[in-house]
Amino acid sequence: MEKRYNHSAQEPRIFEFWERRKLFEARISPDKKPFTIILPPPNANADLHVGHAMYVYEDIMIRFNKLRGREVLWLPGFDHAGFETQFVFEKHLKKQGKSRLDFDRETLYQMIWDFVEENKPKMRAQLKRLGFALDWSKERFTIAPEVVRVVYDTFKRLFDAGLLYRKERLVNYCWVDGTSFSDLEVDYVERQTKLWYLKYPVKGEPGAYLTIATTRPETMLGDTAVAVNPKDKRYAGFIGKTLILPVVNREIPVIADEMVDPEFGTGAVKITPAHDENDWQVAQRKNLPLIQVIGFDGRLIQEAGRFAGLKINVAREAILEVLKESGALEKEQDYTHRVGVCYKCGTIIEPLPLEQWFIAIKPLALKAIKRIKDDEITFYPKKFKRQAIQILERYHDWNISRQTVWGIRIPAFRKNGGKWIVELDPEKQKQLLADGFEQDPDTFDTWFSSGQWPFATLLSLDGSTNPSEGGELFKYFYPTSVMETGHDILRAWVARMIMLGDFATGKVPFEQVYLHGMVRDKNGQKMSKSKGNVVNPVEYMDKYGADALRAALIFGTKDGGDTNISEEKTLGMRNFANKIWNIGRFIRMNADWVEEGPKPDAPIFTDKDAKKALKTIEKLEKRAAVVRKQYLIFMSSGKFSKGLELLYKFLWHEFADSYLETLKDAMRSRSDTGKTALKTLQEVYLETLVMLSPFIPFVTEAVWQEFHGQNSSILEAVSLRDLS
C-alpha cells in the first residue's frame, strides 16, 4: 500500500470496477424488498454545479439500503427543461449574433436537441465521477418518445376526466421570451415608480369628475369601467353614472365592487380587464367588456389608435403628455411597489388575455392533501409537511401551455376554431392534419412532464403507458421509496408530482420526501457568478477526491438546512480519507508481521501487559457495539450528518488515537494476545469501513480490496442486516 491514499489513481479504477461488475443494476428480486429513488433529473443544458453534488444524499440512502439487503434502484435521467433550455440555447445564439426568430420551428428544435445530446455525456461523466450508484442501464429522458407517450396519456386522461380545460384568461406573459408562464415563474421585485392621479369627467355634468390613481397610465386606453367601494360614502352618488375616458373619449360606467380599498389612492380604481388580474376578476363578476391594448410583442396594438406600435414605456410617456395637456393629469407622486418580472430575463411580466390549457387543480390538490395528512407520504424534515399542505391549499389552476419550440408539443387539434380534440395515435393525427385540422402550436410546461417523472420513467422502461396495467419494473419498484430534492422546489415540483402521481396511478409517487437545503460558500453566502464564490465540484474532486467533496457536503450540517462548502473543509475530509487508508495500511502491516512469526527484536511483553491489552480489547468491542447501534439509529432516521460525524470521531479519535496506540505493543510482541488484538482491531475497522462506505465509497472500497482482493466489493460482501 502506498504511504498516502491516492484518490486520482483509485477513484477511476474503482468506479470502472463497479460498472464492470454491474453492481448498480437493479433487478426484480421477488424475495427482496425494493428501495427506489428516481434521480431528480438535471437540466441537460449545462455542466454540473455543486448543487448537483447534493445528490450524495440519495447515494447515501441507496448504498445504505443496499447494505441492508434491499433491492435498490437509483434511476438516472435528464430533463429537457423546456423553456429553461431554450433560454440557455438562445444565449448561445446571441453570442453568434443570432436569435430564435432566425430559424423555423423544426430547425430550432433540432438544433436544441443536438445541443442537449452534446451535453449529456459530460454530465453523465460528472455524475460518475462523484461515485453515484446510478443504474445507467435505465437512463431516461423527459422528451424521449417513449416517455412522451406516457405524458400524453396522462394529458388525455386529464382531458377525459374534465380536469383539463382550455380557456382565455389573463396569463403571465414575457414578451421578450415570447411565452406565458405559470404563477410560479413570476418573481416580484421592488420598483420605484409614480402614482399618477387622473381625472375622468362625468358625462353630462360639466366640471364634475372622478379622480383615479394608477401606476399604469398607458393601460387607461383599455379601461372599461371605474370602480368604487359600495360602502364608500364619498362616491355613493357616482355609482351608475357614466364617465368620459380622457384621450379616447369613450364612455365607461362607474361600478361598485368590494375589491376596492377606500383607503388607497383616491378610493376610485380604473378597471382594465385585459391587463390586470384583479380587474379581470371584476370584469368577470360585472360582465364588463375586454379591450386589449397591449400586444404580445410588448407594443401597443391597433386598439390603441394613434399610440399603436409604441413600446409600453414609450407609450406611457406619450399618453401622460396628452393627459397633461388636456388637464386630465391631476398630480403625480413617488411610489414604490412590487412588480412581477420574468424569473429568467427580468422583463416586467404583462398580464395578457390568452387561450391556454389549464389544469383544474382543486380536485387534485385535495386528494394530495389527504395523502399527506394521512401520512401516506412522510416528510423529512418534518416541518415541510405543513408547508406542503399549505402550498397545495393555495394552488391556482395551472397553465401548462408554453409558446416555446423546445418542449413536448401539445397533442390537441381543432379545425377552423372549432372544438378541441386530443388525439394520441400518430396515424390518426396524420389523418386529422390531412382533414384540415391544426395542432396547437404550444408545448407543455416542462414541469408537466417532470411532474410525472416517478411513474413515467418506470412505465416507459416497461414499454407501457398505462399505470393500471404497468409492467414488471413499474409493479415492482413503484411507488418509489424516497424523493430527495431541494426544498426550493417543493412547490414547483414535489407538490405537482404528488398530484399527478395520484391522478395517474392512484398511488402516491413516493413514500417519503427528503429535502435538503442550498449549498452556500464558507461564509454562508449564496453562490453566484457575480460574487465569484462559485465552487466548481470537478475542481474540488481533482484536488481532494470525490470522497472529500461528498463528506464535506454532509459533515457538520443540519439535515434539511443549508450546507456550507469550503476548500478548508474539503481538505479536512481529504485528510480523513487518508487517515482511513493509513489505519488500514497499519493493520495490514501488522498482519504480515504476525504471519512471519516471531521477530528477534520484539519488545518484552509481560503477563501484566497482556492483561491490560485484553481489557482494552474488551473495551473496544463494547464501544464498537454502541457505535454500530447509534449509527443504525441515525441512518434509519435520515440523520446522515450525525452518522458520519459519529464514525469520524470514533475511527479517528478513538480507534486510531487510543485503541490502536494502546495495542501497538501487544501486536509487536506477536504473542497470542497480540493476535487477538489484531483480529479484533481488524474486525472493528472493516465493519467501520462498511458503515462509512455510503458516505465515502471510494476510499473504503480501496482499503476493502487491500484486505479482500481487487475483485471484491463492500457492496457484495457484506450486509448490514448482520449488524443490527
Q: Which is nearer to RNA, 488 or 683 (CB)?
A: 488
Q: Is 596 helix (H, G, I), strand (E, B) or coil?
A: helix
**Contact between 271 and 282 (Cβ < 8 Å):** yes
Across 279-396, the runs of DSSP E, i.e. the strands, are: 329-342, 350-359, 378-380
H-assigned helices in 445-554: 446-450, 453-462, 472-477, 495-505, 537-544, 546-554
Q: Does 582 bind RNA (CB under 7 A)?
A: yes
Pick from 656, 662, 675, 712 the residue near RNA by CB under 7 A: 656
Closer to RNA by CB, 28 or 259: give it. Answer: 259
Restricting to residues 183-222, which ones interact with RNA according to CB under 7 A? Answer: 183-184, 188, 195, 212-216
Q: What are the grid coordinates assigned to 565, written together?
A: 462548502
CA dihedral of 82, 85, 88, 91, whole degrees rounded to 10: -60
Q: How far is the CB of 304 from RNA (least distance, A)?
A: 17
Interhelix angle 607-636/640-648, rounded to 10 degrees, is: 170
Under the binding rule (CB under 7 A), the answer on residue 4 touching RNA is: yes
What binding mask, one character per residue, do residues 519-548 give for RNA by CB under 7 A, x or -? Answer: -x-xxx------------------------
Q: Which of 375, 568, 621, 716 binds RNA (CB under 7 A)?
A: 568
346 forms part of the interface with RNA (CB under 7 A):
no
Interface pick for RNA out of 330, 562, 609, 706 (rule CB under 7 A): 562
Nearer to RNA, 632 or 656 (CB): 656
- Give Cβ neighbours of residue 281 (< 8 Å, ≥ 6 apart): 259
Residue 84: all three cell numbers together: 429553461
- Position 231 contacts RNA (CB under 7 A): no
> Which region, judged by CB under 7 A, interacts with RNA, from 294-302, 416-424, 562-570, 619-627?
562-570
CB under 7 A: which stretch of 73-81, 166-174, 581-589, 621-629 binds RNA? Answer: 581-589
Q: Which is nearer to RNA, 538 or 565 (CB)?
A: 565
Per CB under 7 A, 706 contacts RNA = no
Count residues binding RNA (CB under 7 A).
71
Q: Rounded distance, CA 468 to CA 434, Å?
A: 33
The Cα–Cα gap between 497 and 504 comes to 10
Of residues 149 through 188, those in contact with RNA by CB under 7 A are 183-184, 188
Determine, following the binding rule CB under 7 A, whether residue 269 of this chain makes contact with RNA.
yes
Q: How far is the CB of 308 from RNA (least distance, A)?
A: 22
Question: Does 316 engage in binding with RNA (CB under 7 A)?
Answer: no
CB of residue 522 vs RNA: minimum separation in angstroms?
Answer: 6
Report the amino acid identity of residue 516: H
* 334 vs 511: CA distance, rounded Å: 52
Task: Look up cell 443504474; give the residue.
Answer: 135
Q: Which of 124, 645, 676, 712 binds RNA (CB under 7 A)?
A: 645
CB of 81 to RNA, least distance (A): 18
CA atoms within a 13 Å half-sphere pointing along the CA-CB vector of 638: 17
The residue range among 29-37, 78-86, 162-170, 253-261 that interacts with RNA, by the rule CB under 7 A, is 253-261
Q: Give the nearest distance from C-beta 574 to RNA in angstroms.
A: 5
Q: What is the DSSP string of 607-623?
A: HHHHHHHHHHHHHHHHH
Q: Which is nearer to RNA, 539 or 661 (CB)?
A: 661
Question: Cell 396495467 belongs to which residue?
Answer: 469
Does position 589 interact with RNA (CB under 7 A)? The reply is: yes
C-beta closer to RNA: residue 159 or 555? 555
Q: Which residues contact 127 (CB under 8 A, 6 or more apart)?
A: 48, 52, 55, 76, 134
Under the binding rule (CB under 7 A), the answer on residue 594 touching RNA is no
Residue 92, phi then psi, degrees to nearest 5: -65, -40
Among 199, 299, 543, 585, binds RNA (CB under 7 A): 585
**C-beta separation of 204 from 232 below 8 A:** no
Which cell numbers in the block locate residue 134?
Answer: 446510478
HSE-up of 218 (CA within 13 Å, CB side)? 24
Verify binding: residue 262, RNA, rule CB under 7 A.
Answer: yes
User: In terms of C-beta density within 10 A (0-12 exposed, 13-18 middle, 19 or more buried), how is residue 626 classed?
Assistant: exposed
Give the one residue of 34, 201, 265, 451 binding RNA; rule: CB under 7 A.
265
Classified as helix, coil or strand, 672 is helix
Binding of residue 629 to RNA (CB under 7 A)? no
93-122 residues near RNA, rule: CB under 7 A: none
Q: How far apart are CA 464 and CA 220, in angstroms?
A: 54
Nearest-angstrom CA–CA distance, 701 and 712: 9
Q: Which of 160, 321, 488, 621 binds RNA (CB under 7 A)?
A: 488
- Indicate the residue type of 671: S
Q: Is 371 in the site for RNA (CB under 7 A)?
A: no
Among the listed residues 113, 136, 296, 586, the single contact to RNA using CB under 7 A? 586
Q: Is 383 in the site for RNA (CB under 7 A)?
A: yes
Distance CA 149, CA 151 (A): 5
Among 32, 370, 558, 619, interactor with RNA by CB under 7 A: 558
Residues of this chain, 420-439, that bind RNA according to CB under 7 A: none
Write down the least CB distance from residue 360 to RNA, Å. Answer: 17
Residue pointed to by grid coordinates 471484491:
712
Span of 283-291, 433-441, 505-513, 561-569 interacting with RNA by CB under 7 A:
561-569
| Backbone φ and ψ of 387, nearest 5° | -60, -40
Q: Does 642 bind RNA (CB under 7 A)?
A: yes
Verify binding: residue 331, RNA, rule CB under 7 A. no
Query: Does 472 contact RNA by CB under 7 A?
Result: no
Tell me whether residue 660 or residue 714 sits nearer to RNA (CB atom): 660
Among 556, 591, 676, 706, binds RNA (CB under 7 A): 556
Say how many C-beta atoms besides its own lie within 10 A of residue 334's C-beta.
8
CA dihedral over 358, 363, 366, 372, signed as positive or negative: negative
Q: How far is the CB of 562 from RNA (least distance, A)?
A: 7
Binding flag, residue 390, RNA (CB under 7 A): yes
List binders of RNA among 271-290 (CB under 7 A): 276-278
- Give me the phi and psi of 193, to 5 degrees please: -150, -160
Only one of the segments 70-78, 245-253, 361-369, 550-558 lies at the binding site for RNA (rule: CB under 7 A); that segment is 550-558
Asked whether 614 and 663 are in contact (CB, 8 A), the reply is: no
